[in-house]
Chains A and B, each alone.
Chain A
Amino acid sequence: DTGVSQDPRHKITKRGQNVTFRCDPISEHNRLYWYRQTLGQGPEFLTYFQNEAQLEKSRLLSDRFSAERPKGSFSTLEIQRTEQGDSAMYLCASRADRASEGYTFGSGTRLTVV
């Protein structure tokens, strides 16, 4: 297990299309997080899961965004009817249950909506 994997690395889509990103966390990590990072800003929290349960969603996560983690392993983040403002880097992170454990981030998926 080499870390958190995200797929795809890059995605270009036309406005109005739906996109889905995948995140594979470190296998023994129960907690999985999605962040969004726009140019010149720090990553902003979107949502997180403990196992398959989605425990918190940011106000940034509009109705067009949905995230799942069906079996408590990998997670998907879907954006419906994409808008140009959705263009950003989408980062996934995972960690084990203990609060003292660090967060490991994936390389991110860079979304460009044209």
Chain B
Amino acid sequence: AQKVTQAQTEISVVEKEDVTLDCVYETRDTTYYLFWYKQPPSGELVFLIRRNSFDEQNEISGRYSWNFQKSTSSFNFTITASQVVDSAVYFCALSGDRDDKIIFGKGTRLHILP
């Protein structure tokens, strides 16, 4: 069975601080995809990144970076120099070759305080 665990239910940081959101996953598939989505108060799920299980290179996109470590089954997300607009719920998710749907974690609610 596939599973995504986001142990941090809620995080609050002061603006300009860096913050890391943790994600641990379980899967038996050898080929799988990991995702991060952002859900602002408006409710829409905004796609942030998709990672193939064969590509363990870390990725940076502006203030966002992702650390994929197969050895620990983790796919953590770091926001550098956080801004109030980063306040949202962030979901880590997983899909595998044998099971054609995305499984989401319960999400981490991030509060960036001015």
Residues of chain A whose beta carbon lies under 8 Å from any beta carbon of chain B: 31, 33, 40-45, 48, 55-56, 89, 91, 93, 99-100, 102-108, 110
Contact = CB atoms under 8 A, between A and B. Distances in A.
A43 B43 contact: no
A42 B101 contact: no
A89 B103 contact: no
A56 B47 contact: no
Majority secondary structure of chain A interface residues (helix, strand, loop or mixed): strand
Contacts, number: 57
A105 B46 CA distance: 8
Given A42-B104, A48-B100, A55-B100, A105 B45 contact: yes
B102 A103 contact: yes
A43 B47 contact: no
Majority secondary structure of chain B interface residues (helix, strand, loop or mixed): strand
B50 interface: yes
A42 B105 contact: yes
B97 interface: yes
B98 to A, nearest CB: 11
